[in-house]
Structure 1
């Protein structure tokens, strides 16, 4: 099924800076990863399970930049950690 989809996307008549051309090229660039994920179910199709645990730290880091004082930074840390 993936092979048929790949052939279909490859034959799409989009060229140039058309958004559909960019999408079709992006799809063709990712076909290998899709095939690997379908062949071995242990391999996820995305990396969300790896990103989700670090997301609170990244969001907190962005918020902590705006701490005006040391006391404000401590309050942000306490608030973010729950």
Structure 2
């Protein structure tokens, strides 16, 4: 039998508690379907289309924006 003193026991207990709090299982990230855009909810597509339509309707014919300041900041 291995003799244990208080510091060795405390260190072993601390290591056991630390390891017991972290589950040992495989963790997965996001599915590839979501990452490449096929999992976008329909409401997000609607919001995106409305935003792009607004920007396209407010932009000038030459590509500039109305009330754009010219010159130094």
Q: Which has the higher helix share?
A: 1
Using structure 2 for the length normalisation, give the TM-score: 0.26
Using structure 1 for the length normalisation, give the TM-score: 0.24
